[in-house]
Amino acid sequence: MSLLGVLLLAPWLTVLGWIYWARTRRHVVAGGRGPDAAVLALAAIAAIALSLTAFADAAPLYGPMWKFIFAALVAYGGFVGVLVAALLVRRFGHRV
């Protein structure tokens, strides 16, 4: 039940993952597609882990639905955060 937020966001997270995959396909580096697949796997793991943590830590003060809302928001932020960080590293990380 604690992963309900991620389950409801799964279609949108899939779309975001597909956009990341399509965006980076044009700029494949020497490592191939492996790093991109690793980023998507890390983003999914981060979303699930953050959702579970947020669900457990949500304050019940705001009502019974707050746990689900908070878990979904944190999972979404974690997923997008990993993708944005990967895009920034891809964009600016090779210039040393």
DSSP state of 30: T
Range of the domain at 9: 4-92
pLDDT at 96 over 60: no
By percentage, how much of the chain surpasses pLDDT 90?
52
Q: Of residues 76 and 61, which shows the higher confidence score?
A: 76
Band the pLDDT of 27: cuts 50, 70, 90: low
Long-range pairs of 7-14 with CB within 8 A, sequence gap ≥ 24: 8/72, 9/47, 9/72, 9/75, 9/76, 12/76, 13/44, 13/47, 13/76, 13/79
Count of domains forming the chain: 1
Q: Is the pLDDT of residue 9 over 70?
A: yes
- pLDDT value of residue 62: 83
User: Does the pLDDT of residue 90 top 70, yes or no?
Assistant: yes
